C-alpha cells in the first residue's frame, strides 16, 4: 500500500471512504486528496479482460508467439507474429492470425 504525506502539514495521510469513493485524508489538518484515478482504471481493465474477439494478446503472450515474414497491409513492415485459432465451426479450417511487430495491426487469413 502506498504512503502519502500531507502537503500542508507533512503528517502521514490515510485512505478513507468518503461518499462511495476512496480518498487520502490527513488526520491532523483534514486535507483531502483524490486517489489517483489511473490506478482505478488499470484495476478495472484487468477485471473486464476477456477472451472475446478481437483477440488481444498480453505482452508475455506476444513474446511466446513465433514470428514470420509477412508484409503488414497497413504499414508495410515485413515481420509479424503468427498464430492459429479455431474461430468458427469445428469442421471448418482454423483461421490464421497475424500481428504486425511494428504497428500492432492484426489481420486474419482464411485458407
Among 14, 21, 28, 84, binds Zn ion (CB under 5 A): 28
Instruction: Tell me the C-alpha distance between 38 and 61, whole Å.
Output: 24
Q: Examine residue 29 and tell whether it contacts Zn ion (CB under 5 A).
A: yes
52 classed as catalytic:
no
Residues from 30 through 49 that contact Zn ion (CB under 5 A): 31
91 classed as catalytic:
yes
Residue 96 CB, nearest distance to Zn ion (Å)? 16
CA 111 to chain CA centroid, nearest Å: 31
Q: Which of 33, 43, 78, 92 is catalytic?
A: 92
Q: What is the DSSP letter of 97?
A: E
Counting Cα atoms < 13 Å in the Cβ hemisphere of 66 gives 8
Instruction: Tell me the C-alpha distance between 20 and 16, whole Å.
Output: 10
Q: Examine residue 67 and tell whether it contacts Zn ion (CB under 5 A).
A: no
List the catalytic residues.
91-92
Amino acid at each position: 500500500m502506498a504512503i502519502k504525506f500531507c502537503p500542508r502539514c507533512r503528517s502521514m495521510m490515510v485512505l478513507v471512504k468518503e461518499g462511495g469513493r476512496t480518498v487520502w485524508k490527513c488526520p491532523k489538518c483534514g486535507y483531502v486528496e483524490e486517489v489517483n484515478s489511473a490506478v482505478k482504471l488499470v484495476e478495472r481493465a484487468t477485471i473486464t479482460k476477456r477472451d472475446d474477439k478481437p483477440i488481444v494478446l498480453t505482452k508475455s503472450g506476444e513474446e511466446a508467439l513465433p514470428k514470420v515474414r509477412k508484409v503488414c497491409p497497413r504499414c508495410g513492415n515485413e515481420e509479424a507474429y503468427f498464430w492459429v485459432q479455431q474461430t468458427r465451426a469445428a469442421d471448418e479450417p482454423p483461421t490464421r492470425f497475424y500481428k504486425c511487430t511494428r504497428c500492432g495491426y492484426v489481420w486474419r487469413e482464411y485458407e
